[in-house]
Amino acid sequence: MKQLTQVLLLVFFFSFFSCKKELPHKIQLKGSVFGTTYAIIYLNDKNNYSNSLDSLFYLVNKSLSTYMPTSDISRINKGDTTIVIDSYFTEVFNKSEKIFKETNGYFDPTVGDLVNAWGFGPEKQLKNLDSTKVKDLLQFVGFNKVSLVNGKVKKEAKEIYFDFNSIAKGYGIDIVGRFLEGKKIENYIVEIGGEVRAKGRNQNKKSWSVGLDNPNTDGTRTLRKIINLSNKSMASSGNYRKFRIAENGDKFVHTINPKTGYAQESNLLSATVIAAKDCADVDAYATAFMAMGVEKTKQFLEEHKEIKAILIFTTSAGDLSEFSNYTQN
């Protein structure tokens, strides 16, 4: 899974409350999934849904995980044309196609071969990756080269390799959120690996509180600010934690630019997206913004007012700076 800007889930509880009215009942679940951790809190329902959620996580992985050799996506990547895709794959495919078009190709899950080649995917990294090889791989990148026909994936070239890791984690959060809403739960927060979907209010009838980290490159974690979320999703992407240094000293980051095919660092350190949309959507936008860079992202936000973002970047003088169009609730 891609390494994203991690956020610290902060939920504030008070030990003093009126004898006339107790705080709502709270269930808190924690565990591991999708190569990371999850934390789920929901109110006014005393049932523990851990087993049901584990089953949903399994189904999402079985459909979309490139790290599961027998998953649908892995079999499709290996050239199996007989797979009839399920509703999970279909929805993620359709969302990806929409955001691919909106971002002019900066979000592109067919970049999987390049993710592997640069050493950030489940397949072996290519040695001595040069401009000629990158150009060869780029010819198999482009979400306009794939389609759905009668429930099956059609690829213009068998070499096209899907990698939905930049949207699947957010999608997994949406699946949990929809499950809880199906149980008539109106107040919850779901966090997986730093991505968040929040509905309603916390126990104190306030917005859920989520912490945003500073983009520290030394491995430490420090809190930058608190974000208040209610009926919104939030996702972050950053290149300051997951990268590798080549033998010649070159630094390669996990965000692959689908336009160039390269995994080169830019001055944009992290992009956090907040919107009243599915978490899958904001997950994808955050990835696209890292590939776009600061100026193209600002232009995109001007044209899509419903999407809010916090961009942390370095200036030409080497100073840390921030752009934000997000206003707290």
> In the numeric block, which tokens belong to residue 143?
């979400």
Mean pLDDT for the stretch of residues 172-199: 97
The answer to whether residue 230 is domain-embedded is: yes
Inside any domain, residue 202: yes
Per-residue confidence (pLDDT) for residue 49, from 0 to 100: 98
Top pLDDT among 123 and 4 is at 123
Report the percentage of the chain scoring pLDDT > 70.
86
Give the pLDDT confidence of 255-285 residue by residue, as tens digits.
788 999 887 667 788 899 999 999 999 999 9
Q: In this structure, what CATH number is given to the domain that contains residue 132?
A: 3.10.520.10
Question: Considering the domain boundaries, does residue 40 fall inside one?
Answer: yes
Q: Tell me the mean pLDDT in the region 291-301.
A: 95
Distance, CA of 312 to CA of 303 (rounded, Å):
20
Judge whether 2 lies within some domain: no
Mean pLDDT check: name the lowest of 11-20, 214-223, 226-235, 268-277: 11-20
Which pLDDT score, from 0 to 100, does residue 218 have? Answer: 66
pLDDT higher than threshold 70 for residue 110:
yes
- Give pLDDT, residue 227: 95
Burial 126-140 (b: 16+ CB within 10 A, else e): beebeeeebeebbeb
Give the per-residue pLDDT at 265.
Answer: 66
pLDDT, average across residues 249-253: 45
Region of poorest pLDDT, from 5-9, 205-209, 211-215, 318-322: 5-9
In which domain, by residue range, is 267 found? Answer: 7-324
Q: Is residue 1 part of a domain?
A: no
pLDDT of residue 70: 96
Is position 13 within any domain?
yes
Give the distance from CA 220 to its chain's centroid: 22
User: What integer is the mean pLDDT of 181-201?
Assistant: 97
**Is pLDDT above 70 for 254?**
no
Domains in the chain: how many in total? 1
Q: Over the range 282-303, which residues count as b (16 or more CB within 10 Å of their CB) and which as e? A: bbbbbbbbbbbbbebbeebbee
